[in-house]
Amino acid sequence: MFSEVLHGLIGRVQKDSDVDHNNPKIPLSRCYMRIGIIPAGSTDCVCFATVGINDPVTSALHIILGDSQPLDVSSVHDKKTFLKYTVSLLGYGFYGDVLKGSEKNRWLGPARYDFAGFKTFLSHRCYEGTVSFQPAKWAVGSPRDKVCCTSGCYICRQSSKQLEAQQRAETCGLQHNEQEENWKTVKGKFMAINVAVMSCACPRSPKGLSPAAHLADGTADLILVRKCSRLNFLRHLIRHTKSNSDQFDFPFVDVYRIKTFQFAPKHSEENDSESTDLGNIGKKNFAQICTDHPSCGCSQVNSVWNCDGETLEQTAIEMRVHCQLIRLFARGIEDSHKDDEENLSRV
């Protein structure tokens, strides 16, 4: 329901502002009408990351008090076509396969995620493609600095100010345009490709996929899990839930703080660069046979995107973060212990 309200609100504001949301490079107009969330879902990720608890009474009190928390929103496009907005997770590979598998077993209720996750883990499939992204050079902090986003977050305030200053400079022509900026490219086989716009914390994963991701700094954290053994991938997953160790501290895991992200699966690259002939047709038919046999290791099989808990069939996509595009009736996670420590250090 939150996703439907989010899309309706942003879409109406862009229409009233005469903004073409199908153009991925056009800045979107901010929405000043606040959204209140009463948590009643399976994970309540957005509420948990913005309030600190998935309690309906607490959320209702934030609405009554009129609290306001800005929130970044990412737009997802397929070339010149708008697909979806996302505020939490955009995941390909493991999390995409889990969601796709769970949709077939909705009769199980919330248990379908455990069932689909176990089945997906056993299949141990990886996907080949090219990841391109632009680092968020203005951002204060990094995905591994262990500074979590809390109420009145300093990093969100400073990062958003620096982003606005950079955008003003670009408008005045003082900097190169986006196409001339440095893009980084990573090619290979991946177990999972995750883009966390927020920490993605929930009761099952109190730290979330990216504990240091911030709510309103205009960035997202790109997490690349390269091909690895089933045991190593399990170690990575366990650190999301129980361990206090750095969940990115593995040689097969890379994490970046970004503003724009693109992904092209291997089959998409081949289709763009090669003409269809008998040899290619045979290769495609062979790949279709391999779909039912993941143990063969064929890299032609594709996953789907998990976009805030909804499947996205398009695989070649572009994602862009829009800083503080909407506002919620929330105030961020309050950390009284951290405030006490800061006051003591000042004394």
Quick check: 143 and 125 in contact, CB under 8 A? no
Instruction: Name the residue with tokens 């109406």.
Output: 12
Least confident range from 140-144, 318-322, 333-337: namely 333-337
How is domain 2-265+301-346 classified at the CATH fold level? Tumour Suppressor Smad4 (2.60.200)
Q: Which has the minimum average pLDDT: 44-58, 63-77, 92-106, 330-344?
A: 330-344
Which percentage of the chain shows pLDDT scores above 90? 51
Can you tell me the mean pLDDT for 225-233?
A: 92
Please tell me the distance from the alpha carbon of residue 10 to that of residue 100, in angstroms, as a whole number. Answer: 27
Q: Which residues pair with 71 in a beta bridge?
A: 326
- β-strands 317-328, 69-78 pairing: antiparallel
- Structural domain boundaries of the chain? 2-265+301-346
Model confidence at 171, pLDDT cuts 50, 70, 90, reads low
Task: Spell out the residues 6+ positions from residue 220 whose beta carbon is closer than 8 angstroms to its own.
Answer: 72, 74, 195, 196, 197, 213, 257, 258, 259, 261, 319, 321
Residue 141, classified by CB atoms within 10 Å of its CB into exposed (0-12), middle (13-18) or buried (19+), is buried
pLDDT of 298 higher than 70: no
Burial class (CB in 10 A: 0-12, 13-18, 19+), 206: middle
Calculate Rg over the CA atoms of the chain. Answer: 21
pLDDT digits (tens, 9 = 90+) for 334-344: 875 454 344 32
Rounded Cα gap, residues 302 and 93, in angstroms = 8
What is the pTM for the complete model shown? 0.84
